Structures are given as C-alpha cells and as structure tokens.
Amino acid sequence: MAAVSGAFVVTQTSLSSKHHSPSSSPTMLLGTRAFPMNNKTARGLIRCELSSSSVSALQQLKKSAIDRYTKERSSIVVIGLSIHTTPLEMREKLAIPVAEWPQAISELCALNHIEEAAVLSTCNRMEIYVLALSQHRGVREVTQWMSKRSGILVSDICHHWFLLYNKDATQHLFEVSAGLDSLILGEGQILSQVKQVKEKLRNGFGMVIPGLFEKAITAGKRARAETGIASGAVSVSSAAVELALTKLPPGSASSATMLVVGAGKMGKLVIKHLVAKGCTRMVRSGIPVSDICKHWFLLYNKDATQHLFEVSAGLDSLVLGEGQILSQVKQVKEKLRNGFGMVIPGLFEKAITAGKRARAETGIASGAVSVSSAAVELALTKLPPGSASSATMLVVGAGKMGKLVIKHLVAKGCTRMVVVN
C-alpha cells in the first residue's frame, strides 16, 4: 500500500494471492459498482479509495475560503476627511446636512459589508464611522458610496482621506469629542455635534457604534470637567468675531456696521457674539450659505486669472465687448491702492491691460454697445415709430446705470421721463 499526496488518496493493488483463489473471479471496485475481472486483465490494476482523513481534508479545502471570510472579526473603521487633510471645496461637496444623516446611515447600513454606521459632518470634518464585516470590502463600498453621492472621484477621496481601525478609530473619536482635534483647541461646539450623532442613532442603528458615541460623549465631558482644556477655549464663531473686531478702531464696535454672511447656525452664533461685544448695527444676508453654494462658481489660480481677463475684455458680459465693465475693473484697482497686498492688485493691473489690448487689437468693441444703451434700444422698439419725443419713459433706479439710461434716452430724443429710485 502506498500513500499519495499525504492523507488525500490511498492506492492499493486489487489482486494478490491472499485475496482470491484461482477458482474465484476477482472484481475491480469503482465507486459503488463492481466489475468482473480475469487474471489477465486484472494484473497491475489498482483500487482507489478515500480514507476518512481524506474526506475531512477535502471538506476543509472546499470550506476554507468561506471560513476565512465568515470567521473574520467585525472591525470599527473611520473614514475621515478633515480640515487637516482636505481642501474646503471637497469638504463642501462631501458634507451631509444634519437632516439627511438618518437617510445616509440607512444607505450605508444597506451596503453588503457594513453592519452599523454613523455620520459626523461639520464645517471642519466629514467622518463616517462603520462596523464592517470586512475591513477592505467595507472601506471600498463606503468610498464608492461617498463618490457616488458627492460626484468626487474615488481616487481624489483616497488622496485626502485618513483611515483608522478599531482602537485607533475609537481614540480618534474620543479626541474629537474632547476638542483635541478641533481648529480651536478645546472648543465646545464639537461635543454638541457628537451628541447630535448619538441622537440620530437612537432608532435601531445597531449597538456597537451607538455605544461608541455614548462613551465618546462621556470622555468629552470628563476632559472638560477634569482638565483645563476648556478654560480658555473659544468657538470658531467667537474667534471670527474677535478677529473682525481687531480690524476696527478701538471703541468703535458700537457704531460700526457689521456684515454677517449666512443665515444658518454659524451665522446666528456670530450675531450672538457680536451682541455680547456691544455691536448693535448688523446686516445679515437672509440667504443660507447652502443656497449660495448651489449657484456660485469656484475658479482657482490659472482658471481664476483667465476668467478675470475675459471679464475685463468684455467676453463675459451680457453684451459682448461692452466697455463699461473695463471701467468697473479699473475702479476695483483704484480701491486696492491703499496697501491691500500685492498679488491681487497686480492681477487686476494685468487684467486692465488685457482688456485694453483686446479692444485695441481685435474688433470686439467695433459693434459693442453698453447694457444701458441696449436697454434703451429695446424699449424704443415697443413704441410707435416717431413717438419717442412724446412718450413718457419710466426709469427705475437713480444710480450710475439709471443715469446712463437717461443719457441714452435724451440722445434718442426722449424728453419726458420719470425716475424712480
């Protein structure tokens, strides 16, 4: 008897003098069937049998890949993009409003390798905490989800993210809750935001991640109660107010008019701090920042420079090549004379030169008209021919544009005008 491949197959000659008599007809066993054999044909044939250990080994081989997967322990993972690693424009695209956290958590938990999830999305960070069945599969699925939701390429997300697992992920959340990872050390607003996450996790989103946030809140409270980390801490909003006040003459806060951009929670906190500092005159934009972001465009470096040059040349105007915009760019340059840096003033200086060259070296301004003259021409088409001198024209606005409109109306023979400021 000879063993082949360890314990998997045992081979044995099927004929020997002690196993049969000349009068008996030997057989060859194949599976469960027996085939008659004679001495001539049987010589040298072998019988293959599986030993009990072979069966066990084969079953283990078939199940090994599945066992490795099913026996893998679930891991706590944080996928984070913060002010320390990620530019503002990317954080804005990745941000998830508080009202949408439950929906986002539900979508994350529906992924194949995610058991539990939580979302911590603030001005300075976007962090997703998950309990993953498989670290690599879970991270890949969450990253693809983030990419699909934000429109940012997976490769760009991976370039700026940080990944922490288990003990490191837990320690990071505790540091966040304690204010150790904040833009301003020890600021208290982040603890309130961690509490918000815990509130969103109340409705049956697992046990491990909610428990983790519960302990993080406790750690944040203890850090502030048992250490001096919060003794000199300020929030981002109060720091912004302090910085703004340094730009005012001493004692002029009560008479200065403060502009607050944004009507969201941060804007309200800024107003609160301004009032505490004695500011009584404030102008606040009534449009939330989120609504502003829906309609703006962002350009950087080379693209921003090219855009300004096109504006100065009249390529971006309502009326192609109109000259008024060049005068307005010059006005900006005049305002920048009093020590407002070097880069931006230099940029506007070059834009003015580009605008002048565009008009001098091309035909862009040959048929150009201003917006005000175009508006007058359009208005006159609504009148009967030859009636401009007898018609009463209504001009809305008494600013520079209104004055230009009046100038063009007079040039067209209009003598009766009503100006409404």
Check pLDDT > 90 for residue 174.
yes
Which helix or strand (DSSP H or E) is residue 115 part of? strand 114-121
- Cα 347 to Cα 368: distance, rounded to the nearest angstrom: 25
- Cα 122 to Cα 183: distance, rounded to the nearest angstrom: 12
Check pLDDT > 80 for residue 214.
yes
What are residue 273's DSSP bridge partners?
none
| Active-site annotation, residues | 123
177: left (phi over 0), alpha (psi -120 to 50) or beta: alpha
The pLDDT assigned to 286 comes to 67
Q: What is the pLDDT of residues 366-415, one digit of tens each?
A: 665 677 777 888 888 888 888 888 888 888 876 777 888 888 888 888 88
Check pLDDT > 70 for residue 242.
yes
> Is 170 in contact with 212 (CB distance < 8 Å)?
yes
When the pLDDT of each residue in the chain is averaged and rounded to a whole number, the result is: 80
Q: What is the pLDDT of residues 185-195, one digit of tens each?
A: 888 889 999 99
The token pair that represents 8 in the structure block: 């998997």
Check pLDDT > 50 for residue 128.
yes
Q: Of 209, 221, 186, 187, whose CA–CA distance to 119 is shortest?
A: 209
The pLDDT assigned to 53 comes to 58
The pLDDT assigned to 2 comes to 42
By CB neighbour count within 10 A (0-12 exposed, 13-18 middle, 19+ buried), where does 168 fall?
A: middle
By CB neighbour count within 10 A (0-12 exposed, 13-18 middle, 19+ buried), where does 8 fall?
A: middle
In this prediction, residues 119-143 reach a mean pLDDT of 94
> Is 146 in contact with 130 (CB distance < 8 Å)?
no
In this prediction, residues 160-186 reach a mean pLDDT of 92
Share of the chain above pLDDT 70, in %: 77
- Cα 16 to Cα 39: distance, rounded to the nearest angstrom: 10
- Cα 189 to Cα 273: distance, rounded to the nearest angstrom: 14
Parallel/antiparallel/unpaired status of strands 281-284 and 257-260: parallel
pTM over 0.75: no
* End-to-end CA separation in angstroms for the chain: 111
The pLDDT assigned to 35 comes to 46
- Cα 309 to Cα 348: distance, rounded to the nearest angstrom: 9
Check pLDDT > 90 for residue 253.
no
Q: What is the pLDDT of residues 325-382, one digit of tens each?
A: 898 999 998 888 876 788 999 999 999 999 898 888 887 776 656 777 778 888 888 8
| Model confidence band, residue 240 (pLDDT cutoffs 50, 70, 90) | confident
301-361 — its CATH code? 3.30.460.30
Contacts (Cβ under 8 Å, ≥6 apart) of 123: 236, 266
| Model confidence band, residue 260 (pLDDT cutoffs 50, 70, 90) | confident
- Cα 365 to Cα 397: distance, rounded to the nearest angstrom: 27
The token pair that represents 197 in the structure block: 């996450």
- Cα 392 to Cα 419: distance, rounded to the nearest angstrom: 11
In this prediction, residues 153-167 reach a mean pLDDT of 95
Compute CA 49 distance to the chain's CA centroid, rounded to the nearest angstrom.
Answer: 62
- The 3-state DSSP class for residue 323 equals coil
- Which has more confidence, 41 or 244? 244
User: What's the half-sphere exposure (Cβ side, CA atoms, 13 Å) at 253?
Assistant: 15
- Which has more confidence, 155 or 62? 155
The pLDDT assigned to 292 comes to 67
The pLDDT assigned to 94 comes to 93
Compute CA 257 distance to the chain's CA centroid, rounded to the nearest angstrom.
Answer: 34
Does 75-226 carry CATH code 3.30.460.30? yes
Neighbours of 337 (CB within 10 A): 8
Contacts (Cβ under 8 Å, ≥6 apart) of 39: 15, 26
- Cα 205 to Cα 108: distance, rounded to the nearest angstrom: 11
Range in 119-123, 202-206, 254-258 the model is least confident about: 202-206
Range in 60-64, 85-89, 159-163, 235-239 the model is least confident about: 60-64
Check pLDDT > 80 for residue 130.
yes
- Cα 130 to Cα 406: distance, rounded to the nearest angstrom: 65
Check pLDDT > 70 for residue 28.
no
- Cα 148 to Cα 140: distance, rounded to the nearest angstrom: 12
- The 3-state DSSP class for residue 269 equals helix
Q: What is the pLDDT of residues 48-106, one digit of tens each?
A: 444 555 556 556 545 554 555 555 689 999 999 998 889 988 998 999 999 899 999 99
- The 3-state DSSP class for residue 139 equals helix
- The 3-state DSSP class for residue 118 equals strand
| Model confidence band, residue 232 (pLDDT cutoffs 50, 70, 90) | low
Check pLDDT > 70 for residue 16.
no
Whether the domain at 75-226 and the domain at 301-361 fall into the same CATH topology = yes
Share of the chain above pLDDT 90, in %: 32
The domains of the chain are located at 2-68, 75-226, 236-288, 301-361, 371-420
| Amino acid at site 161 | W
